[in-house]
Amino acid sequence: MMFRKKLRFVPFICLLGYACLLGNLAYAAENKLVVHADQGKQKINKFIYGQFTEHLGRCIYDGIWVGENSPIPNTRGIRNDVVKALKHIKVPIVRWPGGCFADIYHWKDGIGPRAERPVTINRVGGDVKESNHFGTHEFMDFCEQVGCEPYFCGNVGDGTAEEFAEWVEYTTSDGDSPMANLRRKNGRDEPWKIKYWAIGNEQGGRKYALTYLRFRPYLREYSGNKVYSVPSGPVGLDYRWTDLLLKMASEQMDGLALHNYAWSGERTQSAVNFEEDDWYFLLRRSFRMEEHIEKVIGIMDKYDPEKRIELVVDEWGAWHEELSPGEQPADNYQQNTLRDAMVAAIHFDIFHRHLDRIPMANIAQTVNVIQAMILTKGEKMLLTPTYHVFDMYKVHQDATYLPSDLECGTYTREAARTFTISDESRDRPYLDELGPLYDIPVLTATASRDNEGKIHVSISNIDPNKATTVECDIRGAKFKSVSGTILTAPEINTHNTFEKPDALKPEKFEGAKLKGDKLIIKMPSKSIVALELS
Ligand code: AHR
C-alpha cells in the first residue's frame, strides 16, 4: 500500500455516501482494503525485522551478557532467556557495537582472555566503565545462538583506517596473516562470514564523504566473504549533506544508512504517563517517517536512477525520556506501552511500502534501551508490546508483498493545530523541514503471501476511542478460512511490568468473518490485528 500514491484514503463520510448510492449493499463497512493478491512481485526482506544492540545502558551488560559465572542461566555468558525470546521472533540480523559507541570502540580491547582485557570508559554512554568482556567473539557467539546475521559498524571517530582494515582481516580472513593468526590464537580457527559493514555512525560534517572514501578500500573481501558497505547517514534531517555524500561517493556504496527516531516531546516525554494528545503526536510522527524516507529516496534517485543503492534504516524507534526508578539518565532505559507497539506497526507498514529500496531496518535497541523488545531486571525478563508486534509480523519475513489500496478515515487532535514547537523541542528541524500534518490515516496495513501460499494481513486501528469496520477484498485468491490474533489493551498506556508481565499480549481474534468473497474485520479501538487466510 502507498500512503499517498497507491493508497487512497478518503474521509468516512464519503464512504457512507458511496454505500448509500449503491443502495442494495446490505452492509456498509467504514473502511475498505483491496489486496491485489495476483500482483505480488517482490519479497519483503526479512532484514527489515533487524535489531540494533549497542554498548549503552543495560543493553549488552545485564541484557545480553551476564558472564559465565552468573547465577542467571546462560550459555558461555549469554542469557538463555533472551536468546530464546529472540529466536522466537526470528531475529534475522543484529547491528553492533553502536551507534555512537562504534566510533569510540577499539575492537582489540575486546579480544583475548577476558581477565586480561582493559577496562575502558564508555565516553558516549555516561562515562561508565566498559569491561570489554563482550567483544567480537562474544557477539558472534550471540549471533550464532540467536541464528542471525551480524552487522558490524566500524570506528571512523577515534579509530584509524588501519584498525578497521585489521578488524576485517581478523574476522573474515582464512589466510596466514597476522590478524587471522591472532584470531586463531584466540580460539577461532575458521573465519566468520560477515557481509554487512557500516563505516562510522551519524557522521555530520562536510568531510565525512572523504573519510568514507578513505576507509572503504580497507573493507576487503577475504576468503570469499562478500561485503556490503554502508556509509553513515546524516545527523538529523540534513538533506544537503545526504546529497553531497551521494554526489561524492555513490559509486562506492551498497547501502546508505538512515536514522530516525519518533521522539516524545510535544506534551510529555514520559513513556507511560501520557494522554491522548501524546498518543496522537507520537503516531503522527511515526507516519512522518514515510515523508522522510521518500525525501532521501528522491536524492538517491538523482544519483542512482537504476536503484542499485539501498536504504538501510539502521536505527529507528520511539524515544522517550522518563527516568525509571533506579535507572541512570544516560542508560536510555524506558518502558514500552501499547503506543510503542503501534509505532512499530506503522513503521513496518512504511518499510514494506518501500521495499524496492529498503532491504534492512534495525530497531533501537534489542534489550533495556529505547524501544526495546525485552526488559530485564536481574534474573527477571519481560516481553514488551513491541516484541509482540515483531512476533505478529514475523509472517511477513521473506514473504511476497501484495500491493493494496486502503480507503479509510482519518484521526486528528485539535492540539496539533494550535501547538507551537518550543525552542527545546528536539523535533524542530524535523517538523520545520516537512511542514504541517494534522490528519493521519486511522488505519495502516500490510498484506503478503508466504511460501506455503497463505495470505497474511496485518492491520491496525490507531484511533484510541472508536472501533471500526473494514471490508477486505482479496482479489485473485480464494480462501476458506480465516484466523487471527489481536494486540490491544484497556488503556493507551497499558504496559507489562515485572510484577504483571502479561498485562498486554496477543490474544485470539474472533472479529474477522468471511462474507461471500469478502472478509469483514471488526477492529476494536487501538488495536493491531494479524490475520491468516488459507
Ligand atoms: O541508539 C542510541 C543512539 O542514538 C546511537 O548511539 C546513535 O547512533 C543515535 O543517535
Q: Hey, whose CA ends up nearest to atom 5 of ligand 1?
A: 99
Residue 420 pLDDT level (bands cut at 50, 70, 90): low
The x, y and z cell numbers of residue 276, run together, are: 491522548
Per residue in 397-428, is it b (16+ CB within 10 Å) or e — as a string? Answer: bbbbbbbbbbbbbebebebbeebeeeeeeebe
Q: Report whether 92 contacts 50 (CB < 8 A).
A: yes
Q: Is the CB of 54 under 6 A from ligand 1?
A: yes
- Residue 12: the pLDDT is 38
Closest among 58, 155, 46 to 98, alpha carbons compared: 155
Distance between CA atoms of 260 and 502, rounded to whole angstroms?
Answer: 30
Which ligand 1 atom lies nearest to the CA of residue 365?
1
User: Terminal CA-to-CA distance of the chain, rounded, Å?
Assistant: 21
pLDDT, residue 481, reads 94
pLDDT of residue 497: 97
| Any atom of ligand 1 within 6 Å of the Cβ of 201 | yes
Ligand 1 atom nearest to CA at 100: 6
Nearest to 370, CA basis, from 410, 328, 436, 316:
316
Q: How far apart are alpha carbons 105 and 97 in whole angstroms?
A: 8
Query: Does the C-beta of 400 come closer than 6 Å to ligand 1?
Result: no
pTM of the model: 0.94
* Binding site membership of 234 for ligand 1 (Cβ less than 6 Å): no
Instruction: Evaluate: CB of 484 within 6 angstroms of ligand 1.
Output: no
Tell which atom from ligand 1 comes closest to the C-alpha of 101: 6
Catalytic residues: 202, 315
pLDDT score for 45: 98
- pLDDT digits over 1-42, tens only? 333 333 434 343 334 333 333 333 344 578 999 999 999 999
C-beta separation of 265 from 280 below 8 A: no
Contact indicator for 370, 485 with CB cutoff of 8 Å = no
pLDDT at 517: 84
Cis (ω within 30 of 0) for the bond into 365? Answer: yes
Return the pLDDT at 268.
Answer: 79
pLDDT at 426 over 90: no
Ligand 1 binding pocket includes 60 (Cβ within 6 Å): no
pLDDT tens string 299-345: 999 999 999 999 999 999 999 987 677 778 889 999 999 999 999 99
364: Cβ below 6 Å to ligand 1?
Answer: yes
- pLDDT over 90 percentage in the chain: 83
For ligand 1, the distance from its centroid to the CA atom of residue 332, given in whole angstroms, is 10
121-165 tens-digit pLDDT: 999 999 999 999 999 999 999 999 999 999 999 999 999 999 999
The pLDDT of 351-368, averaged and rounded, is 98
Cis peptide before 159 (omega within 30 of 0): no
Window from 175-179, 325-329, 469-473 with minimum mean pLDDT: 325-329
> Distance from the CA of 155 to the center of ligand 1, in angstroms?
14
What DSSP letter does each residue of 302-358 carry, written as one string? HH-TT--SEEEEEEEEEE-----TT--GGG-----BHHHHHHHHHHHHHHHHTTTT-
Q: What is the DSSP letter of 135?
A: -
Nearest alpha carbon, ligand 1 atom 9: 99
Mean confidence (pLDDT) of the chain: 91
- Going from the Cα of 191 to the center of ligand 1, the distance in angstroms, rounded, reads 29
**H helix or E strand, kind and range, residue 130:** strand 128-130
What confidence score (pLDDT) does residue 86 get? Answer: 98
pLDDT at 421: 54
Q: What is the predicted pLDDT for the residue at 20?
A: 37
Q: Is the pLDDT of residue 46 over 90?
A: yes
pLDDT of residue 432: 54
Distance from Cα 145 to the centre of ligand 1, integer Å: 25
Give the model confidence (pLDDT) of 189-229 as tens digits: 999 999 999 999 999 888 999 999 999 999 999 999 999 99
Please report the pLDDT score of residue 429 as a whole number: 54
d(CA 112, CA 133): 10
The pLDDT tens digits of the residues spanning 58-109 come to 999 999 999 999 999 999 999 999 999 999 999 999 999 999 999 999 999 9
pLDDT at 458 over 70: yes
Residue 438: pLDDT band by 50, 70, 90 thresholds? confident
Over residues 406-431, mean pLDDT: 70
